[in-house]
Structure formats: structure tokens, C-alpha cells
Amino acid sequence: MGVIRKIGHNEIVESTTPVHITWHDGKYKLCGYFRALNNYTNADRYTIPRIPNALDKLAKAKYITKMDCMKGFHQNGVKPNSMKLLRIICHLGIYEYTRIPFGIKNAPSHFQRMMDTIFGGWMVVYIDDIVIYSETWEDHAKYIDRVLSKCTPINLKLSLKKCNFVQKELLALGHKVSGLSLAIDQNKVAEVLQKPVPKNIKEMQSFLGFASYCRNHLKNFSHITSSLYKLCSKDVVFEITKERRDAYERINYELTNAPVLILPDFELPFKFK
């Protein structure tokens, strides 16, 4: 799978500088600094599922399988006339992407649409993650076979080391899930707690991003974090006051002691108070 290709030395072309991000496994991922391109790109408004809503579908499941698409966006090619917009420059020369790179504005929406088109609505699909669930072994085996049979003709590759087959409970989409309950992945919480108190807006935004991801498990989340969100405003001096430190430590405590949520049974009536 050729992801980038080198451009001839005689060509004078526009390009951007490469940047890297640290992935959750500690490895680096190369991206182009595509902010200017993204600013001129019309947003693709295709709906990406909310993770809590998607995982609610697993209620009553007795068998769960998780699959992960290998290198996600890189499995989608780029049209030849668009490659010139996806060029990066480094000490080795100028390169252009032949596959969709990370950092492109509409990449998640495009990939979600593709996956929904391929697999339909009979499983949980969140961008490059697939979660299969069923109440019987017979149905589960049938669903797994159906997914694999759809991947083969279009050469959609799965990462075997990230797949987890036929479990009662597993980690998926940042949560520990079963057919009965939903809990925060405490391994991810531990990674966050190992970091020092945020020293700038970027670090605070990263912390709040993770906390917001878990907000369904955190009581009074908006009230507790209001002072921290205000700290991320451009016209506010970044200063960790006692109030803000207390809010930061309270969220860390709530993350560590977050309750396990029971998945709803949509066949029963709901009462709102």
C-alpha cells in the first residue's frame, strides 16, 4: 500500500511541512500541516455516531466481537487531481499522498460514509472500528462471516492484533462493554492521571477533551469544568488558581471512581422525571 510518492526535483510546487502526533500506543503518526487546506474545504456534514448511543445497541448481547481496519484512512485512495493538494516537504524532498492522510478535514466523515455503505446498520460502525453483537452464537458466527465476506472483494484490510473475537466483555471505543453494562476504560484514565497539571491552553484542551468523552459517567460535569473551559478562552490569562486546581482534581477523582452504567432495555417503557 503506497501511501506517499516522491515528486521530481525539477518541479516547483506548493507544499506543507510534516508534523507528527503521538498515538495512544506511543508510536508516531505522520501528518501534513493541512490547516490552510482545511480552512478552504467545504465541510462534509455526514453524521458520525455518538459513541454512547452506538454502544447502547449492545444491550442484551451475549457475544461481542471487535474489529479494526488496518491504517484506517490510508485504505482510501486519492484522486490524481487532488494529490497536488496533499504535498509535504522535508530534507529528503517533496512527497505527495496517494492515500487519504491523517489531518484532512473530511476524512472521518468520508470513511464513516464508506463503512456505513458497505456494512449497513446491523452492527456498530464508528469510522474504522466495527463492533458485532448478538444474543446467540449462531447469529454471531453468521455476522462475522458476513463482515469478512464483504471485506475480501474490496480488499478492506483488518488489523488482526486489534481484533477481539467472541467475548462476553471487551474494550471497544474507549469503554469496557458487555451486554449489560458500560464502563470507562481505566487504562486510558491512568494515562491521563500520569500527566502533570496542564501548563497551557493546548494541554488543558487535551485534558478536557478526554474528560468530555467520559462525561456520561461524570455527575455535574458541566458545573465542575466551567472554570477550566473559561481558562481556554483566548482573552483569558492562563493561570491555575485554587478554584481551577480543585476542579481539575475533582474531575480526576470522578474519572477514577466513575460508575458503571447499565445499558438501557429499549423494549421496556421509559419514565422521565
CATH class of 183-256: alpha beta
Task: Tell me which amino acid residue 255 is.
Answer: L
Residue 180, pLDDT above cutoff 80: yes
Question: How far is Cα 19 from Cα 28, in angstroms, rounded to an integer?
Answer: 10
Q: Is 193 helix (H, G, I), strand (E, B) or coil?
A: helix
247 φ/ψ sector (left φ>0, alpha ψ -120 to 50, else beta): alpha
Q: How is residue 235 annotated by DSSP? A: T
* pLDDT greater than 90 at residue 267: no
Domain ranges of the chain: 4-178, 183-256
CATH architecture of 4-178: 2-Layer Sandwich (3.30)
Kindly report, residue by residue over 51-91, the tens digit of the pLDDT.
988 999 999 999 999 999 998 899 989 999 999 899 988 88
Domains 4-178 and 183-256 share a fold: yes
State pLDDT tens for residues 88-133.
888 888 899 999 998 899 999 999 999 999 997 779 999 999 999 9
Residues 90/126, Cβ–Cβ less than 8 Å: no
Residue scoring higher pLDDT (260 or 94): 260
Neighbours of 192 (CB within 10 A): 16
232 φ/ψ angles, rounded to the nearest 5 degrees: -90, 0
Q: Which residues fall within 8 angstroms of residue 220, CB to CB, at 6 or more apart?
A: none
Distance CA 43, CA 210 (A): 24
Per-position b or e across 97-114, b if 16+ CB within 10 A of its CB:
bbbbbbbbbbbbbbbbeb
- Pair 231, 244: CB distance under 8 Å: yes
**Among 203, 208, 202, which Cα is nearest to 225's?**
208
Residue type, 121: G
DSSP 8-state code for residue 168: S
User: Over the chain, what is the mean pLDDT?
Assistant: 91
